Copies of this chain bind each other. A is one copy, B any other.
Amino acid sequence: MTTNDSTDPPRGPGRPRSEASRQAILTAAFELLQERPLPEITGAALAQRAGVSKATLYRWWPSKEAVVLDGYFDALKHRIAPSCTGDPLTDLRTHVREAYRMMGGPEGKMFAAFVASGHFDEKLREALNKELNSPRCKDTEGILGRAVAAGQLRPGLDIQLCAELIWGPAFFRLMTGSPIEEGLADRVTDGLIAGFGQ
């Protein structure tokens, strides 16, 4: 969440932080996250799986949720880089497709668990917004902006709202437990283009 960045070692005295432990913890966290629902991941199990003491966990992270979230972030190298072909509408379609594919897959499962947990944990929620939700919305808004600029979407479009209209159904499905089926992304995109295109 905060303390886990393995940046810059301008070391003072004493034994340095074990990079091996840090990696083992993050790996263990992600493994457990795939095996069982978040509330069933205990600090003890996490420590044992990583071959690490509980104290080490709490020395570097404020809570077990923070650890697991970092494990999730760490395993998440493939953020949705907004594709950029030149045709904004194609980019949009691809972007939404990828987003919905992710939300409908195992990663979405984890994401939903964090969103749910975040409702009772401010820190967690903020980290999640900062690292995932905000950038993703910004990406979407960027593409929408380019489409408007290219004259493919109506000028004066409420871009921020439009981004929320895109992500909204995914959240709705995720949190109500409905599946995010194959064609949903295109239905959303088509609908919006039909409505807001020109």
- Chain A contacts to B: CB under 8 angstroms: 37-39, 112-113, 115-120, 122, 125-126, 128-129, 133, 158, 161-162, 164-165, 167-173, 175-177, 187-188, 191-192, 194-196
Contacts of A164 in B (CB 8 A): 168-169, 172-173
Q: Among the interface residues A115, A125, A129, which one has the most CB atoms of the partner chain B within 10 A?
A: A115
Smallest Cβ-Cβ distance to A162: which chain B residue:
B191
Enumerate chain B residues within 8 angstroms of A194, measured Cβ to Cβ: 195-196
Residues of B within 8 A of A162 (CB): 191
**In the bound complex, how far is the Cα of B177 from the Cα of A115, in angstroms?**
10
On whether A119 and B175 interact (CB within 8 A), knowing A165-B169, A168-B169, A169-B164, the answer reads: yes
Cα–Cα distance between A113 and B120 once the two chains are bound (Å): 8
A159 to B171, CA, bound (A): 18
Q: Which of B38, B158, B167 contacts A168 (CB 8 A)?
A: B167
**Least Cβ distance of A197 to chain B in Å?**
9
A129 partner, pick from B115, B168, B176, B195, beta carbons under 8 A = B176
A115 CB to closest chain B CB (Å) equals 5
On whether the beta carbons of A168 and B161 are closer than 8 Å, the reply is: no
Q: List 7 A-B contacts (CB under 8 A).
A: A116-B118, A116-B119, A161-B169, A161-B191, A168-B172, A175-B175, A191-B196
Closest to A128 in B: B176
| Top 3 A-B pairs, shortest CB-CB distance | A168-B168, A195-B195, A116-B119
| Interface residue from B116, B161, B173, B187 paired with A120 (Cβ < 8 Å) | B116
